[in-house]
Structures are given as structure tokens and as C-alpha cells.
A and B are shown apart, each in its own frame.
Chain A
Amino acid sequence: MSDDFIVETRELTKEFKGFVAVRDVSLRVRRGTIHAMIGPNGAGKTTCFNLITKFLAPSKGRILFKGRDITAARPADIARMGMVRSFQISAVFPHLTVLENVRVALQRKLSNSFHFWRSDRTLARLNEQALGLIEAVGLSEFPAVPAAELPYGRKRALEIATTLALDPEMLLLDEPMAGMGREDIERISALIRKVAANRTVLMVEHNLSVVADLSDTITVLQRGEVLAEGPYETVSRNPEVIEAYMGTGHA
């Protein structure tokens, strides 16, 4: 069973001082699929996300990644195990260049990251790999530009390149399309589909056409609980979902 499902949560619950943000969520993400979490504002999507990546500790419940219990692991450990997340607010290193942004991610595997007596020119051997990733996300014109100077959509692309540099088995994308124009959405959608070819993707996304287009499975959350789950066709016909979300959101 754990072969099929790369991530499993069991009765995951998170309380914030009496307010239950996530209640008994048992989620199973099938290996090699694109799985989306949707739901109205405050449904607990981002909390769920933070629980799975260990940026928050659950009040109750367990989380399994590749069959291993990671409920007590720390965020950096999760990343090392092959599950890497993005953030809602674009997460780049603003004053590092595009190349340096990607290289910082590649650098971790060199295990020279504590070498303060060495020149950073030793990192140049990562350049080729970094430039390849930069090209893959369509930023090949900008490797020497500080990340802060990129337009928003390109920052997100850079973020994805940085995430891919870790070659994660599993990608967690927190609203990858938030605040993007149509053109950027198309580019990033294509990119997500490309990188999902040999990976598992779990994403939170508001843009329903993107979700419908990309995902194999959709989990609908409402008030911290799972309302429905399944492929878009099934979920979108579920009367409860239509009432709770689609009715207003899809119009």
C-alpha cells in the first residue's frame, strides 16, 4: 500500500488555541500523480500543507512519507528525504542572482557548505547544471540578474527551477499561479506538467481551470475537513461541492 501512496496522512488535526483549522484529514497522494487541494478561503489548505512539510506540528494524527513516519521530523529533514515545497509568497533569494539562486540548491549535495576556507569559485562546477535548469524554466536570458529585479511570473519560474535543482521525488506547490497573468499561467502550467512526468506533485491552487487541467485527483476541503475526493469530473458533479464551492467559485 505504501508503494502506491507516496504521502499519507492519518486523521491529521491541527488546533490553534481552540480553533480547529484541520480536522481528521486522511489524505493519500498516489505516487506519480498531480494531486490538488482546493477549497474556499479558510478551508485549511495551507495549514494542511504546512503540516505535511513540517513547518507546523500537528496536534494529532500521523504523516507518512514513502511509508516512513515523518510526524516528528524537522522541515530540513523532509527536504533531504525528497519532499520539497514552494511558498505562497514567491520564495527567491532577492539579492542573489538567478544563477546563484539555483546554485544554492544544488550546492547542498556537494557537502562543502560549511567550507568557509574555500573560494566560492569551487561552486562554478555547478554552473552547467544550474544553467540547464534555468533554461528549462525559460530564464536563460537572465542568469546574472538579481532575482529581485525579475517580474513576478519569472520569480515563480525561478522558484520552480530552484526546487527542481534538488531533484525531489515529491513537489509541494502552494498556489503556484497566485497573482499571475494569463501568459504566465500557461507557461507555468506547462512547466508543472513537464516536471510531473516522473514526480509526484501536491498543490494548493485557487484557479479552477488550472486545477481541472492539470490534476489527476482533487481533494476538496471545507472548514478543515475533507468534503470530497476524486477526479475533476466526479468532484465537480458532487452536489455538496457545488454548493460549498463551485456554485460561487466557478461562475
Chain B
Amino acid sequence: MRLYWIALAVAAVAAVFAPTVLYPVFLMKALCFALFACAFNLLLGYVGLLSFGHAAFFGFAAYATGHAAKVWGWNPEFAVLAGTAVATGLGLAFGALAIRRQGIYFAMITLALAQMVYFFSLQAPFTHGEDGIQAIPRGELFGLFDLRNTETMYFFVLAVFAGGLWLIWRTVHSPFGQVLKAIRENEQRAVSLGYKVDHYKLTAFVMSAALSGLAGSVKALVFQLASLTDVHWHTSGEVVLMTLLGGMGTVLGPVVGAFLVVTVQNYFATFGAWVTIIQGVIFVVVVLLFRRGIVGELNALWLRLRRRSVPAATTPPAAARPGVEPAAHEPPPRKRRVGEGS
């Protein structure tokens, strides 16, 4: 446990000093996508539902935020809230329709609904079609912090990211999260124990949509742009990629995955079209070598080392200590194929 706090402290220090070393806009982009991937993973990793339409929440929230900030002149905090609220409502509608199906059908329904949002965004006047909403003003947060200052903006993004990640961590390690894991592991059994699984799945879906929306809203302020790219199905695919690379069903995996993908996109941008190919190669290598994703494999390695380092003779069987949680802080990622609902 102490190790976790040390790691957390190191991460916090690194996050504070990172913009002095790295390009702040790159960091902000990575943080937005990291939050997006974590929100997506709440659904894939902890409920076992593969959504292929999460770009709709991310991208449409960006439009809502952009419109509220630019046309209505709302303060950034309210613009971000507006975007998140729109994504939440959209999530409720999508979820209510999609949640009854599983596996590939669930993925297809979410994809179809997201495509509807895409074509709506292409046609609706307020989104400005191919141009998108440009020059979105960042404004002053609470009327106090001028977000036009890149450093201030960075800390705002960092705070939103930390808050979102905390909420996800809290949810996963809560009584609610425990039921979600039970549903992921064996839905029929959860039903037979008297759980109305649809209610739990819908709640998780809406939370995931809301947090994806939050990520999209903040991203709109960072780039001062809300465009069709954000609602395009490529973005839905990218978030799947980030989550699988990092390790689904781990809290930090999607963060690692998002940083990796954004890094490849930014720093290898000079390779032009090769970026997509590099991404593909990385994906193939990770899937072949680390099926649990990067963080998933590290977790498994850590567990193995711990088991080996504790000689069996000196400790009572782990079992003999009632109430002691198993060593894993994350459930061991399952070796099942993506797309299998239950």
C-alpha cells in the first residue's frame, strides 16, 4: 500500500513539472484522451460492454461546450458543464436502447447511434459542418483564472483529469463496482441473485458517457476547436485501441495507452501516413506479446514476483487471514476476446 502512495506522489510531482519539459498542448491533449479512455474502460473493463460509439459523447460534448462558450458567451466552467450534461443525456438515450443487447450487437447498436450523431453534426447549422466550431474562447475560470494562459489551462486540465480518474477509481472500488464486476463475470448468476442488471449497466453506461463528455468538453477548450474528427468513428476506434494497449480492466492502463497513442501521433507526425502504420504495428505487437495490455502485464508480473518472494512456509495461507483482500488491486484481466458481452 505504501508503494502506491509513493507512486502517486511521484506521479503528482511529475505532472506538476511536466509542462516545463514537454510541450503543454501535447500534455493537455494526452490528458483529455486519457480521461476519455478511462471513462470508456469503466464500461469495457468493468462491465464487459464494448461500445463502439463513444466518440459521440466525446465529440458532441465538444460541440456543446464550443457553442456555449462562443455563441452564448458562457464561462468555461458552465460551458464544460453544458457539454458534460449533453453527453449525459445522450448516454441515457443510447444506453436505454443498447443495454439490452450484448457482445457484437451492443457494439453495432452503439456504432449506429454514434453514426447518427456524426451525420447530425455534419448537417446541423450550429456545428458548422466541415469547418467545425473554431476559435472557441477559453475565457476565465470562475472569473478568476485566465485560461488563455497556457500554464493555467494546463493545471485546469490536470485538475479535471485527476478528478475524473478519482471518480472512476472510487466507482470501481465501491459497492456498486463490486456488483458491476459480478455482472461482468457472470451476468446470469447476478440475475439469479436478484440483481436487476440492466439498471446497473445503464448507470455505468451513463457515467461512462458523462465522463467521456467531460473529456471532450475540456478538449474543445484546449484546442479551441470542436470538429467532425471528434465525433467520427475513428475516434471511437482510437479509444478502444488506447484501452487495449494500456490494459483494460485496470484503472491506469487506459492512461498509459492514451499517452502512448498520442505520443505516436504527435512525435511521429513527420512520418505522415506512416503514423497509422506505426500505430497498427504497435497494436499488433501488444496484442501478440502482452494480451493483458501494458499495465495488465505489469500487474501480473508484480503479482507473480510477490507470490514467489513470500515463502509459503512462513505465511499462513493467504486464505487464513479473513477480510484480507486478495493481493490484486485489479481483477486479473480476462483472457477473453473483445466483443464478447458476457
Contact = CB atoms under 8 A, between A and B. Distances in A.
B100 interface: no
Contact of B182 (A55, A104, A120): A104
B322 A143 contact: yes
Interface string A91-102: 111111111100
Given A104-B179, A113-B176, A143-B319, A95 B334 contact: yes
A144 interface: yes
Interface in A113-149: 113-120, 122-124, 127, 131, 140-146
B323 A124 contact: yes
B185 interface: yes
A203 interface: no
A75 B191 contact: yes
Interface stretch (A5-13, A80-88, A188-196, A216-224): A80-88
A244 interface: no
Contact of A93 (B174, B189, B200): B189
B186 A120 contact: no
A96 to B, nearest CB: 6
B177 interface: yes
Residues of B contacting A: mostly: helix
Contact of B175 (A99, A105, A118, A162): A118
Nearest to B324: A144
Contacts of B189: 87, 91-93
Given A91-B186, A124-B323, A144-B319, A53 B192 contact: yes
Nearest to B320: A141
B170 interface: yes
Interface residues of A, number: 50
Contact of A96 (B185, B191, B194): B185
A72 B159 CA distance: 49
Interface in A175-226: none
B186 A93 contact: yes
B205 to A, nearest CB: 13
A115 to B, nearest CB: 5
Contact of A120 (B177, B193, B194, B322): B177
A103 B320 CA distance: 17
Contacts of A144: 318-319, 321, 324-326
Interface centre among A53, A79, A145 (most CB of B within 10 A): A79
A242 interface: no
A150 to B, nearest CB: 11
Interface in B157-203: 170-171, 173-179, 181-182, 185-186, 188-197, 199-200, 203
Contacts of A92: 186, 189
Nearest to B322: A131
A91 B334 CA distance: 17
A79 B185 contact: no
Contacts of B322: 99, 127, 131, 143
B207 interface: yes
Contact of A76 (B176, B181, B191): B191
A120 B329 CA distance: 12
B175 A115 contact: yes
Contact of A118 (B174, B181, B190): B174
Contacts of A113: 175-176, 178-179, 195, 200
7 contacts: A76-B196, A86-B192, A94-B185, A105-B193, A114-B199, A115-B174, A145-B318
Interface of B: 170-171, 173-179, 181-182, 185-186, 188-197, 199-200, 203, 207, 317-326, 331-332, 334
Given A93-B189, A108-B193, 14 more contacts: A74-B196, A75-B191, A76-B191, A91-B188, A98-B319, A104-B179, A113-B175, A114-B203, A120-B178, A141-B320, A143-B322, A146-B326, A166-B193, A166-B194
